[in-house]
Structure 1
């Protein structure tokens, strides 16, 4: 109870400080890092109003789109057996605060719906979907030779980590969240690591996560234990940016957003201390471009018929590399995997890019769940995905005589 009260007071402080007059703000305004941590404790109304504007609320880099657009032609509307598809979808979206859903089959739009004032031209923050994008950029950097090997140690790319618990952790272990370094990712706990990692003062021009992670102790031998850790994906983002000498947004634009044909600019939130883009969250894009990202993965990481991602990364990314806390599910290289060969980029508050190669399906969803995560919310999302799969499968069955 006391912890929840502290979290509420912290969130209220963040929200009030943003609205104070300038003179008072100079004395008491929270730092950018504090404001970012405050997002975890926003009210429902704040989430729905601000998730489409994150790149306006926080310093961000632009990932420019190009002149050519990867078309998403309209396909035959998807029928959900035994239900009024429109009413069923509207009910799902209203109950779980879903702002947009798009389903592609073989590159064609089978289902598309928006709510809560959201629309095709607006962007929505992705939270941990960004982790999967950062991992994808590493796969491209590996293909282009900026990253030499996934067996490289982090200390060889980020000298500040030498002498820390991360010095000998490999790129592959970072990709699978098996560093073995202690971490608490409880989104409801204002004292957890994930709620604290951006709160400290900037030091020596280092990104928040570098200063935070340099001090963390080892809990398990590297490579032996999976533990979900957002800061480590920020760390992966720093690695990619240092290796390529470009921001994540610039590299995303040059290697994927423009060449593949995304329809609108994307934006990536920057760390206030060193200006690097935060690889674990902060990417905003349109629903259609999230769907195009899934289609790019379904296409095998190819643009114009040519692979742009290292095959070693691609095979590891979309297949189970380590077990997780849920039976039957796994984790690849910052992509979640399922036993049927499907895989997904998943973010808190209901964000998702789901890829089902067997059915040639992509399902993109953006949302403002009433809490970061929870069993009932996750189950509802799974049931929605399962319903879409059944609808596609039912179309392939012969008609009853």
Structure 2
């Protein structure tokens, strides 16, 4: 499926190089990091060897600057449920063949299967890549509940006036969320001239956010609402919009609205760009059980966290992605049988099956960023897990 991951990896270092500004919450990475080396490392993420992926995906804060998403004192319990009736050898084989480091299955709020490999453990956290998009979307729902944003039908330019006179004139927040803005964008990860590879290369006017500086230069391709095109840059823009509306960093707002009140077990880590802005489209590192808790939160409707009906709207298919039975909501992928989920390159995923009250979260280090063979193998295994859960 096109756009299954995030292209931010190809330009990550450019987004992070020169992080001399102090993040709004406690930084994790060393402030003495060599930014020239950082640029090299970030640009090479797609081409790290397997040993580098295994070592760094669970420890991105040792390489990149970012903000902490602080947990609270209370932990949302995930008690043990009846063990999933699936052969351990089948699970082990899938995890080994697909370089899966963490797998958890939660049904009705209880853990039915939890497994770690490749040096990962329950006490660690793992990068999300584009799974972060669904967390950023959730903060829009929270901002509407809190009154910072009135409605997704409002124009983007109300909250980011710097976009006035650009291709984003007349584009609503909803169209940004569904990636149907009509603004022209190239997400080709292999093209050095693509937007996703070059969005942080241009000089940024003094005092302007680097994402806004680039996105306002893009031309209109189609009328808003007519065509879906996967755009990591637009999720970054959503992150900027939330920060502007709330006057808070994404990390601090996520802590306030989700991590502390819902009871996430561990702090999370969110990478920042060169201005200190959390990267809305990527790069949130979270513990496996907390990825599962996010699924539990969504299944429960997010009462007290997001506006009423937010998750029902966010996880409904709103854009045609060109594949029968599949679609795109508010930064959530939608699948056949009313399932939905979050996805990121190299095998990161949260799958939610509302009919069966099941959440399946996976953290992986696939041998390549994405591919139909890898996606098909994951989907087939997820179905095996669901079939086992309903026996």
The two structures have a TM-score, normalised by structure 1, of 0.86
Q: Compute the displacement of 1:54 (Å).
A: 1.2
Partner deviation per Cα, 1:272-326 (whole Å, 9 max, x = no partner): 1x21111000100100100001111011113xxxx42113432221111111132
Quote the Cα distance in structure 2 between the aligned partners of 1:36 and 1:325.
Answer: 31
Quote the Cα distance in structure 1 between the aligned partners of 2:346 and 2:220.
Answer: 30
Which residue of the partner structure matches residue 121 of structure 1?
A: 123
Give the 5 Å matches for 1:235-314.
235-272=237-274, 274-302=275-303, 307-314=304-311
Change (3 A) 1:189 1:89: farther
Partner deviation per Cα, 1:192-251 (whole Å, 9 max, x = no partner): 222222333443233332222111111111100000000100000000011011000000
Q: How many residues align?
A: 364
The 3-state SS of whatever aligns with 1:218 is: coil
Pair 1:29-2:26 in alignment:
no
Q: Flag as ranges the 4+ runs of structure 1 deviating above 4 A.
A: none
Quote the Cα distance in structure 2 between the aligned partners of 1:96 and 1:379.
Answer: 11
Change (3 A) 1:58 1:89: same
Give the 5 Å matches for 1:141-220.
141-220=143-222
Which residue of the partner structure matches residue 54 of structure 2?
A: 48
Q: Compute the displacement of 1:167 (Å).
A: 2.6
Match of 1:77 among 61, 78, 83: 83
Quote the Cα distance in structure 1 between the aligned partners of 2:200 and 2:215.
Answer: 11
Quote the Cα distance in structure 1 between the aligned partners of 2:369 and 2:381.
Answer: 18
Pair 1:365-2:367 in alignment:
no
Pair 1:374-2:371 in alignment:
yes
Which residue of the partner structure matches residue 20 of structure 1?
A: none
The 3-state SS of whatever aligns with 2:195 is: coil
- In structure 1, stretches of 5+ residues that fail to align are 1-9, 18-24, 396-401
Which has the larger displacement, 157-166 or 186-195? 186-195
Point out the structure with max Rg over C-alpha.
1
Quote the Cα distance in structure 2 between the aligned partners of 1:55 and 1:152.
Answer: 36
Which residue of the partner structure matches residue 95 of structure 1?
A: 97
Q: CA RMSD in A?
A: 2.1
Match of 2:351 among 351, 354, 363: 354
Pair 1:316-2:307 in alignment:
no
Which residue of the partner structure matches residue 65 of structure 1?
A: 71
Conserved 8 A contact 2:75-2:263 = yes
The two structures have a TM-score, normalised by structure 2, of 0.89
Quote the Cα distance in structure 2 between the aligned partners of 1:218 and 1:363.
Answer: 38
Partner deviation per Cα, 1:108-167 (whole Å, 9 max, x = no partner): 110111011000011101011100000001001111110011111111111211111013
- In structure 2, stretches of 5+ residues that fail to align are 1-9, 18-32
The 3-state SS of whatever aligns with 2:129 is: coil
Partner deviation per Cα, 1:34-82 (whole Å, 9 max, x = no partner): 64343233222222211111122111011100110011111111012xx
The 3-state SS of whatever aligns with 1:167 is: coil
Conserved 8 A contact 1:318-1:337 = yes
Which residue of the partner structure matches residue 324 of structure 2?
A: 327
Conserved 8 A contact 2:136-2:281 = yes
Which has the larger displacement, 112-121 or 71-80? 71-80
Conserved 8 A contact 1:93-1:99 = yes
Conserved 8 A contact 1:37-1:199 = no
Counting helix residues as a fraction of each chain, which structure ranks higher?
A: 1
